[in-house]
Amino acid sequence: MKPNECTRRVMVGSVPMGGGAPVVVQSMLNARADDVEANVRQIEALAEAGCEVARMAIPRRECLDAFEAVCKASPLPVVADVHFDPVIAIEAARRGAAKLRINPGNIGGLDATVPVLDAAREAGIPIRIGVNAGSLDSELAARTDLTLPEKLASSAAQYARFCEENSFRDLVVSAKAHDVMTTVETYRLLAREIPAIPLHIGVTEAGTQFQGVIKSASGLGILLEQGIGDTMRISLTDDPVNEVRACWTLLAALDLRRRGPEIISCPTCGRCQVNLIELATSVERRLESVKAPVKVAVMGCIVNGPGEARDADIGVACGKGSGAVFVKGEVVRKVEEAAIVDALMEEIEKL
């Protein structure tokens, strides 16, 4: 799979989005919008985890000073997330936003959008048109002749065309729902209707970590495999850092982008003669500080163990209370169970 080369290239700060650029990983801050230090700390943690663009809500005009300060201190481009008040979007563009995110369902209509486009044009920044199933324009939402995916896609596409008719083309579009297949069908429609505009994909309100990751991976995996999506967020009711880790794990599983290690471990069975669950969890925890895209196999018995460990960059095939450590397919040492994790980490450091 390759990134979508049909969409236009949009720059969010120094981050390229669309036009064949790698799929961009995003997250959203959840600190208080008037707390500059808390937001900057969160951005720094997100950047360390691999986030490339951070979005910050500006719920009130009184928060604009804090937003400006965050933009100045942030190591990442900061997107202003604006609802209900176009004046906030205009001011955010003037105060350092790398991109604006507005919702056609609640920003105040097409007339209110024109000065927002002017402000973004003057600042030289793009706009994301973000449509959600829960905040559709009331007239469109009331129509009974359209499915929900058709309503979402229609809202986003019409708004995008309005922007283009007003000579603003630096656009990104999203149209999300909490239902996986509604989201998938919506983005398929958008990819056909507005093929030149980069798409920000995500399942909104996906839930807490376990459910949210599964729902998001199901929907976004389908879209990414089909070449749909230029930037993504996995939305979780959780620490935003976990959103970023989930994004990278999904991108690596699809062989689109890699950042950090991949663990290959078996699900255990009655043949296993070590505490493999604890062993694999310990390896995963120790690998959190490793940035290299290394494949590490932690295998529990002789059925698939030696073969899978041999195929990985580093691996261990376990026997009774011990393990054979492989590096690039060759056994380099045999160690007792208690020494396996340290042995693996020592070999990783040599790569």
Q: Give the CATH H-level superfamily of domain 10-253.
A: Dihydropteroate synthase-like (3.20.20.20)
Whole-angstrom distance, CA of residue 208 vs CA of residue 90: 33
Is residue 330 classed exposed, middle or buried when 0-12, 13-18 and 19+ CB atoms within 10 A define those classes?
exposed
- 53 bridge partner residues: 26
Measured in degrees and rounded to the nearest 5, phi and psi for residue 338 equal -65, -20
Structure tokens at 64: 């604009």
Whole-angstrom distance, CA of residue 230 vs CA of residue 79: 16
Per-residue tens of pLDDT for the chain, all 351 residues: 566 678 999 999 999 999 999 999 999 999 999 999 999 999 999 999 999 999 999 999 999 999 999 999 999 999 999 999 999 999 999 999 999 999 988 898 899 999 999 999 999 999 999 998 877 877 888 888 999 999 999 999 999 999 999 999 999 999 999 999 999 999 999 999 999 999 999 999 889 999 999 999 999 999 999 999 999 999 999 999 999 999 999 999 999 999 889 999 988 888 888 999 999 999 999 998 888 889 999 988 877 777 877 788 999 999 899 999 999 989 999 999 999 999 999 998 888
pTM: 0.91
Whole-angstrom distance, CA of residue 315 vs CA of residue 29: 37
**What are the start and end residues of each CATH 3.20.20.20 domain in the chain?**
10-253
Which helix (H) or strand (E) covers residue 25, if one does?
strand 24-28
Nearest to 129 by CA among 164, 174, 177, 170: 174
Whole-angstrom distance, CA of residue 337 vs CA of residue 149: 53
- 131 bridge partner residues: 175
**What are the start and end residues of each CATH 3.30.413.10 domain in the chain?**
262-350
Q: Which CATH architecture has domain 262-350?
A: 2-Layer Sandwich (3.30)
Running DSSP on this structure, what letter comes out for residue 199?
A: B
Q: Which residue has 């036009």 as its token pair?
A: 19
